[in-house]
Structure 1
Amino acid sequence: MQIKGQVAVVTGAASGLGRATVQRLAEQGAHVAAIDLAGAPLDALAKELKLLAIGGDVSSATDMEAAFAQVRTALGTPRILVNCAGVLGPARVFRTDKATGRVMPRELDVFRRVIEINLVGTFNTIRLFAQGLSGETAVDGEDRGVIVNTASVAAYEALSAQTAYGSSKAGVASMTLPLARELARFGIRVMALAPGTFETGMYEVVPAHTRRTLIDDVPFPPRPGRPEEFAHMVQALIENGMMNGSVVRIDGAVRMREPTAPREGRPAS
């Protein structure tokens, strides 16, 4: 699919991978609708790029139904959807109560929040995007729509305390093929990108020692990925008509391992 002139929706648009994707698609001539939680980052993005910015929670059916209605009214039928909205969130099975020192089971809502945003939120936007193209039938293999979701290498190699994040991203990865098969008759391709460690807000909250271990394990290049590299791959997937039903790792060949004690001679933080 040629990007120029197409209506594109990007979630998680105000920062990190989403922001870079918005910028890339806008540079390529797309009419971009940026969706994220309402607030200063989203407002700043809209002002800088002069695009349609819509505040909303991707896990809310009501918010996203209103958002897609607004996109269709303001810009037309979206044919590109890139889901970047996501959260990390701790999900250890146990936690220690600071007041009593007792070991307590982790509150279920902590786990549920990550699943709701990362997995349910992804499906929420897909169902509305696909509905907008459901009246069309693919002709001679012509692209009618393209969906790129954000999985993670944690779908395959999640670290300790990433139970919620890993399972949510595994769900995103696993929905790729069945969605591609289901939506094929409408000419909609579905793919997912599985990034490794990238320079985003999520990366910044990871402990320093863990960050070093993650980067030390990257064969090449020995650094975190840059959001613009993710956005460049999004563009490639959109433009390559044979890419469908696949989860593509973008990780410098890393295979994540559980961090151990700091290496000798290197501080822990």
Structure 2
Amino acid sequence: MDPKGQIAIVTGSGSGLGRAVAQALTRRGARVVGIDLPPRDGAAELLELALSLHGDVADAAQMEPAFARVDQELGCPTILVNCAGILGPARVFQIDRETGEVSPRAMDRLRRVIDVNLTGTFNTIRLFAAGLARGNPQVALDGADRGVIVNTASVAAYEALSAQAAYGSSKAGVAAMTLPLARELARYGIRIVALAPGTFETGMVGDIPDHTRRRLVEDVPFPNRMGRGDEFAHLALACIENQMLNGSVLRIDGAVRMREPREALA
């Protein structure tokens, strides 16, 4: 699928990987719709988007009217790139530093990570795919792409560190649903792939302790650095344009295999 002239939705477009993908698609001539939470600092949107919407991808009540608005104002989207995600540690239990009391971790933090990363991804997929099927209810027999979905998994889907049980399982879910969704949507000419980035320069990296961040970068064989948003966007565009990429999870990580920092084991 040539992005030029296509209507593309990018979630998490306000920063990081989503912003890089939105910029890349815009440069390629796509009409890009960005969906993200309202910026915390109230900064104005700097991207030249066809439409900018604020909303929580995990909330069906917010995403349903958002997708309906896209269809009404621009037309049926044919590209969906899901980059919205949060890190959010979720240790099994916590110890009070003053009293030494041990208590199980509250469930709300785990639920929020799963809701955004996994449920939110599925939420946008169901709306995107239904819109395409509604416009083209017949089985696709011409071999042409009708729609392409690119999701964001993570190497943490395979090698999550301690305190990443919520994040790792949410990203493992994104990876695991890639093939069954590709099989389900194939008859409608809709492809779906997932990208599994390693350590990239995003705002999320700021939530990782310094010693863990240093070790993650040190462990990257080559190139021995963090990935850049434009490199992720480049691969996302390749997935959109290459029709044989379907039902797969592609690692983009410099050959890193995450290992537990010794400080975390002490």
Normalization by structure 2: what TM-score?
0.95
Give the Å deviation of 1:44.
2.9
SS at match of 1:49: coil
SS of residue paired to 1:22: helix
Change in CA separation of 1:209 and 1:178 when aligned onto 2, cut-off 3 Å: same
Following TM superposition, by how much is the alpha carbon of 1:97 offset from its aligned partner in structure 2, in angstroms?
2.9
Query: Does the aligned pair in 1 maintain the 2:26–2:49 contact within 8 Å?
Result: no
Give the CA RMSD over aligned residues: 1.5
Partner of 1:120: 119
What TM-score, normalized by structure 1, do the two folds share? 0.94
**Secondary structure of 1:245 counterpart:** coil
Task: Give the aligned partner of residue 5 of structure 2.
Answer: 5
Structure 2 residue ranges without an equivalent (≥5): none
Aligned AA (2:5): G
Alignment identity in percent? 66
Aligned residue-pair number:
261
* Residue of 163, 174, 185 corresponding to 1:183: 185
Aligned counterpart, 1:208: 210
- Could you tell me whether the CA contact under 8 Å between 2:118 and 2:174 is conserved in 1? yes
For 1:116-195, list aligned pairs within 5 A: 116-135=115-134, 136=136, 137-195=139-197
Structure 1 gap segments, 5+ residues each: 263-269
Letter of the structure 2 residue corresponding to residue 6 of structure 1: Q
Q: Is the 8 A contact 1:36 1:42 kept in 2?
A: no
Conservation of the 8 A alpha-carbon contact between 2:87 and 2:207: no
User: How much has 1:38 moved relative to structure 2?
Assistant: 1.8
Question: 1:265 maps to which residue?
Answer: none
Partners in 2 of 1:176 and 1:44 — Cα distance? Answer: 34
Distance 1:105 1:212, change over 3 A: same
Specify the alignment match of 2:44 in structure 1.
44
**Does the aligned pair in 2 maintain the 1:15–1:41 contact within 8 Å?**
no
List, as ranges, runs of 4+ consecutive aligned residues in structure 1 with deviation greater than 6 Å: none
Q: Deviations over 1:102-137 (max 9, x none)?
A: 111000111111000000000000000000111323
Cα offset for 1:41?
Answer: 7.0
| SS of aligned partner of 2:250 | strand
